[in-house]
Each structure stands twice: as C-alpha cells, then as structure tokens.
C-alpha cells in the first residue's frame, strides 16, 4: 500500500518551474516609467519577461509602492534615457522577448529641459529616491534586500591596548 501512496504523491507534485533570469541592479528611472506608463505588455507575467524583472517588482511599480515620484508627466534627461536603454540591453533574452520595443519606446520619450530636469531631481531627492549609477558612472550595488545581515559590527579589542588597571583588576578577582 505504501508503493501506491508514493506513486500518488509523485503524480501530484507540480513540475518545477524554470528559474526566471532577471536583470540585477537598481532599475533606471526611465525604465520604471516604461513599466508604469509604456503599455508595452499585457499583464504581470508578460511584463516580467519583457522587462526581465520579477512579477513582484512589476506590481510594486504599477501600484506606486516604489518610485512614486515618477509620474506620467515627468520628463527625463538624455542621460537618464540612455541609462534605461543600457539597463534593458542587459536582458538575458533580449531578442527572444522582444526587448527592442522597450529601447524604441525609451528613444521616443521627450527629453527634459534643464528646468524640468532640476524639478525632477528635487522631487526624487524629496522622495528619497536613489540613483541607478554612482557619481563615477558605475551601477549602484542594489544590495541584498531581506537577505542582508543587519547585525552591528563587533568592535575588535587589541590586547596590547587594554589598560593595565583592567588586567590587574581581573587578576585580583581570580585570586579571590
């Protein structure tokens, strides 16, 4: 009877889903705009494949849970648009998923004037929005999310720097 139960258990297991290959790192602001307002794909799963990110990130962007400062009327600098294009070009299945339409969409976005760019930068800072690149132009380390360790670093004590009084006190305590 156990052989029959084992056979039933094996039949009820769902086939393993393939692991989704996503683009790592902080998403560029222009990409967030494309996800939220671009109408480039239907539904979360299709957007997930097109933008090479997780369905959760897609839903968070659409619901305004993050990047709330990116509204429909915002305009980006040419550098921000280029950052979005550079980001999507890391797509692991660029051609297979049709990511070229994302590049074409980003290229069609109107470029912000200096005044509009300054206004957006103030909005981003006020919302504590983070940049996708460092001042040196390198991608920002996106961190580990929930997996990062929150413990405080322990202070190392150099035995040579301990005070003589502390050493004497402990020796007297031991002798009683």
Residue ranges in 27-137 assigned as alpha helix (H): 29-37, 43-51, 55-63, 78-88, 100-108, 114-126
- Which tokens sit at 10? 């094996």
Question: pLDDT for 45-67, tens place per residue?
Answer: 899 889 999 889 999 999 988 88
Whole-model pTM over 0.75: no
Question: pLDDT for 99-110, tens place per residue?
Answer: 999 999 999 999
pLDDT for 141: 62
| Whether the predicted pLDDT of 142 surpasses 70 | no
pLDDT for 127: 84
């Amino acid at each position: 009877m156990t052989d029959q139960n084992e056979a039933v258990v094996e039949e009820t297991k769902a086939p393993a889903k393939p692991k989704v290959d996503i683009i790592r790192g902080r998403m560029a602001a222009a990409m967030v705009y494309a996800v939220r307002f671009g109408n480039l794909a239907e539904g979360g799963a299709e957007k997930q494949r097109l933008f090479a990110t997780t369905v959760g990130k897609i839903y968070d962007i659409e619901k305004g849970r993050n990047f709330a400062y990116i509204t429909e009327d915002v305009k980006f600098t040419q550098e921000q648009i280029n950052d979005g294009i550079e980001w999507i070009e890391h797509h692991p299945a660029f051609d297979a998923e049709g990511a070229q339409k994302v590049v074409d969409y980003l290229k069609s976005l109107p470029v912000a004037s200096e005044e509009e760019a300054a206004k957006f930068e103030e909005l981003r800072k006020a919302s504590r929005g983070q940049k996708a690149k460092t001042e040196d132009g390198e991608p920002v380390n996106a961190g580990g999310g929930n997996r990062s360790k929150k413990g405080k670093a322990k202070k190392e004590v150099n035995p040579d720097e301990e005070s003589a009084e502390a050493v004497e006190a402990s020796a007297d305590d031991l002798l009683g």
